[in-house]
Structure 1
């Protein structure tokens, strides 16, 4: 015989079912939900940007001095930012007034390219030959052989500084091939490929323009761990000093064993209150800091306090090595 379900229980089940349907049908609850793909390379690029910015800030500083030696006049070279974007989005920017030149990074087995604002080329030629560098020619034409040679000298200086800026992290050997009017087409086959664009602003005389250093993201993927673990203390003296000051303020435990006495278990069990244990006080005791012998000291008194007078320092590296060997 089947038992009937009470009416109040049926009403409760119906009401809960209606509430659930209302929540599912209400699209506003999920309006702000966005998909997040952790396998997307764009997600991992953000870990590399601080290191890349540090590299290219150093490059901008060194490149300014190289351009001064090349053109014998004051040059402004300013790092702006590193962008990660798709190649198709980059070529949609105005690329008509720039010269692009391929370079090969032999150590990473990849290719990239420089993009230089053409209005800077005529200014460089004038400055190189002693002119004021204020030509009104914006370079919207085919470049002369003199200008092409100047561009190569400019890029060779850029490559020297680029290698120097990278060498603190990893070898960055760059080779500049012969001039190619359309080098980009030999590097990227898809508009969706991810690239890293390092943007610089140059000012020569009264001419101001851009310099871009473009690398495919896939080139840095094999060395991303080196970039990610790069110690900023090696590049930023102020940050290193702050870190050192913080470490010096860390509390450590100092200990010293004044004497050691060997007793048998029978003697220990016979000890009573008031018994005197005879011990020979050593002339020097070892003072340990955080468990590592660092000092030799003699036992003395300071007023009514027992004290230690430091006699000499101990080589902590040798002491630590001996401790590990034991």
Structure 2
């Protein structure tokens, strides 16, 4: 997108004020612009640059894992990153096929949980190799036995050791396996609306058995690993020209005014009581002291908030997005 200089902005405003250019001409120009819908309930927390960084980082992880498993199990094993996406935790859970196996683990020192999901068509050949087999997969996918689940924990340790190794140059971390599960619907690891990064890797054991591994990492974990370091690197290289462009963008962003209204509560009274209202009368609201207040953007209910003060002024703190069951004015 082209950014206008201040002289171009002044010329445009002057043309509008003198009638040399009509506002309809600008509207016609706007009709040719492609707009993208944005879902504020499912915000994109990862930029394209962040997703590319995750792809590169976990490409290294996939190579480490390929080399280790090939040497450790003495069989040709390939792991390759095929996609990095962002979605809600709810969408991730809905996308998981059954049967499957997930390992829930904690990343230290951040004490944030994460999930790694193994496709049975990756696990069964791996388990067969662990027991001295040729890496064969069963004809039909089935539930794992208790012994196979125990071996899966060992597989998870190996995979996560290589993940930690691939992160080492960016941030030193350790992992702790919390549990190995076969039914992800029984465990809500994150809030359903939590934004997560989903790294999908294809696997190949031997010459033909293909499967996949999914790594589900919440934004709260990746923020100190990917986001903050990237912001620090970016901030250290801001030039004077960049600062000028930033101020120009801030100027244009500051032009639109959006009215926010906070509703502390509502009360119903008769017309007679309304006509007799006077100073000192008390109205009982429909909201208790510990309940959130409603915050409207224009006429639309968007947020919930708690009242407080900031300095010597009344203020509210946003506590949540308005739910589906809430109603507008």
Gaps of 5+ in 1: 1-15, 232-326
Alignment-derived partner of residue 228 in structure 2: 225
Contact 1:169 1:230 in 2 (8 A): no
Max Rg structure: 1
**TM value normalised by structure 1:** 0.56
Report the number of matched residues: 211
Alignment-derived partner of residue 156 in structure 2: 155
Q: Give the Cα separation in 2 of the matches to 1:23 and 1:116.
A: 54
Q: Give the Cα separation in 2 of the matches to 1:111 and 1:188.
A: 8
Contact 2:115 2:215 in 1 (8 A): yes
Alignment-derived partner of residue 55 in structure 2: 53
| Shift of residue 68, structure 1, vs aligned partner | 2.0
Q: Give the Cα separation in 1 of the matches to 2:219 and 2:184.
A: 18
| Shift of residue 127, structure 1, vs aligned partner | 2.0
Q: Give the Cα separation in 2 of the matches to 1:220 and 1:93.
A: 22
Of 101, 115, 118, the residue aligned with 1:116 is 118
Alignment-derived partner of residue 287 in structure 1: none
Q: Measured at CA, do residues 49 and 230 of structure 1 come closer, stay the same or move farther in structure 2, by a change above 3 Å?
A: farther
Q: Give the Cα separation in 1 of the matches to 2:184 and 2:93.
A: 13
> Residues 96-107 of structure 1: matches in 2 within 5 Å?
96-107=98-109
Q: Give the Cα separation in 1 of the matches to 2:135 and 2:212.
A: 16
* CA RMSD between the two structures: 3.3
Give the SS at the match of 2:92. Answer: helix
After TM superposition, the structure 1 stretch with the greater mean CA deviation from structure 2, 222-231 or 36-45, is 36-45
Q: Give the Cα separation in 2 of the matches to 1:154 and 1:23.
A: 61
Q: Give the Cα separation in 2 of the matches to 1:54 and 1:230.
A: 17
Deviations 1:99-143 (A, max 9, x none): 1110101222210111000122221222223322233344322x1
Alignment-derived partner of residue 212 in structure 1: 214
Deviations 1:50-75 (A, max 9, x none): 32122111111110122123322111
**TM value normalised by structure 2:** 0.55
Q: Give the Cα separation in 2 of the matches to 1:203 and 1:22.
A: 58
Determine if the alignment matches structure 1 residue 170 to structure 2 residue 182: no
Give the SS at the match of 1:195. Answer: strand
> Residues 1-326 of structure 1: matches in 2 within 5 Å?
29=31, 32-34=34-36, 41-42=43-44, 44-141=46-143, 143-182=144-183, 185-190=187-192, 192-205=193-206, 206-223=208-225, 224-228=227-231
